[in-house]
A = this chain, B = another copy of it.
Amino acid sequence: MGSTVFQNSYIDMLLLKILQKKDMYGYELIQEIENIPNSNFRVKTGTIYPILHTLEKQGYVIAYEKSENSRQVRKYYKITEAGKRCLDCKIQDWEKYSAAVNYVLEG
């Protein structure tokens, strides 16, 4: 089955994990990721919006629009139960992957 271990940067996992804490809109997620301390992470809009659309198609998040105190409408994303299960899988994959990499580095 899917041993696509080496074609996975775990952005999806990070997005789902962040959304597990609270609903956010795309632009907010970009800043959240770029503000991870000591990371220097950079995610482009051309990366994140398509990923969010895909996660939505897969049923891992649900999108809804919300306008706070003005006409400005933002598209919020909420993690679903399926998304939480998917997140658990991806976390397991990550732990297995990072443990294996660290095994080589320490061996």
Could you tell me which A residues sit within 8 Å of B by CB distance?
3, 5-11, 13-14, 17-18, 21, 36-43, 47, 91, 94, 96-105, 107
Contacts and interface: CB of A to CB of B under 8 A. Distances in A.
21 contacts: A3-B40, A5-B39, A5-B40, A5-B42, A7-B9, A9-B9, A10-B101, A13-B101, A14-B101, A17-B104, A18-B104, A21-B107, A37-B100, A38-B96, A39-B96, A39-B99, A41-B100, A94-B101, A94-B105, A98-B98, A98-B101
Q: Is the interface of A mostly helix, strand, loop or mixed?
A: helix
A16 B62 CA distance: 42
Nearest to A101: B10
Nearest to A44: B6
